[in-house]
Amino acid sequence: MTGPPPPDLAALDLDASYSPANIDRFARRVERLAMPPWGFFVLVFLAAYLLCAAGRWLSGQRNPLLLLAPAPLVIWDVGILALHQYLDRYAITALRTFNRTLNADEAQLRRLEQRLTVAPLRLEAASALLWVVIAGLLVRLQLGTFLAYIPGWELILSVISFSIGGAFLAHVIYQLRLVSQIHAAASEINLFDPEPLYSFSGLTARTALGIVLIQYLVLLALPGEVRMSTVLVPTFVLVVVAAALFVWPLWGMHRRLAARKASIAGDISSLLKQSVEQATAGAASGVIEDPEKLDKTFSVLRAAQATVAELSTWPWQPSTVRGFVTALLLPIVVYLLQEIAARLAGL
């Protein structure tokens, strides 16, 4: 009796070596701390919040609302680093669950975990630089508006902090592209055991929602005029990107599932065709052998057709999609209602 077929991991290049991205080096150091990662990031957030508040005070800011509001750069930087840490942990868990379909051995799994959580330094550097340039252009468009609320030193740090966002985005694209390749390497596609096939949908959904949530929090920390003039449009673009991040890595698996479903349906149709031909030949000759058995065969095959027709070819739970869409759109609706209410109150 032969065992399960080995995975096709050739395209993943598990033995490839490259300089790890700085954001991934940082994450590994956080993992080695004596405290849990969430505790570390809470402390970092509080320290950065107090430093920025002190900096605003020393810069002459006396408006309590602007003085005590968290600096957008603090929310962005700490949020991105914490989300990165969380997603890497989740990715490893998802990979272990998916291995029921992949059938990789322990050594291969270890190398896959390394590849899944460590992006190349060159990719990180290019993306970080690009994001800093984009942030600089956005600030340049509304420099006067920003300086009316945010001191110059904080504005400069905010632009530089976008390098962390660029590093994270490079990591996300690298990681989710690898998820798509891992799906392609799966040796067994079992439509009747979909649980492992759903594992990476949790990663893609959390990635997309995490990015959008951080951006929403940044919006809330910005004054209304700055929000509406400069940051709101990129936020809506980010929502579209988030939706793409959820679906894109899973599309290849959807196509494999659809092909597998079509193959099973074709096999059932062939058996049904044979049964119909047998019944037709018997009716033509006037001799139908074991009609009761033939009737049961028809019933079983029709039931099988109905069962296969109901099988989903999407590698996610329906509840995952509902939760994703709700979490994605609800804050937008609430935010727009708040803005409308604030403008009406101002009239």
Residues recorded for the chain: 347
Q: CA-CA distance, 130 to 75, in Å (whole number)?
A: 20
The DSSP annotation for 227-287 comes to IIIIIHHHHHHHHHHHHHHHHGGGHHHHHHHHHHHHHHHHHHHHHHHHHHHHHHHHHHHT-
Number of H helices, E strands in the chain: 14, 0
End-to-end CA distance of the chain: 79
Per-residue pLDDT of the chain (347 residues; tens, 9 = 90+): 455 555 566 667 677 778 999 999 999 999 999 999 999 999 999 999 999 888 888 888 777 777 777 888 899 899 999 999 999 999 999 999 998 888 888 888 899 999 999 999 999 999 999 988 888 887 777 766 667 667 778 788 888 888 998 999 999 999 999 999 898 888 778 888 888 888 999 999 999 889 888 888 887 777 665 555 555 666 677 778 888 888 889 898 989 899 989 999 999 888 888 888 777 776 666 656 667 777 788 888 888 889 888 888 888 888 888 888 887 777 667 667 766 776 676 54
**CA atoms within 13 A of residue 49's CA, in its CB half-sphere:** 14
Rg over alpha carbons for the chain, rounded to the nearest Å, is 27
CA distance linking residue 83 with residue 197, whole number of Å: 23
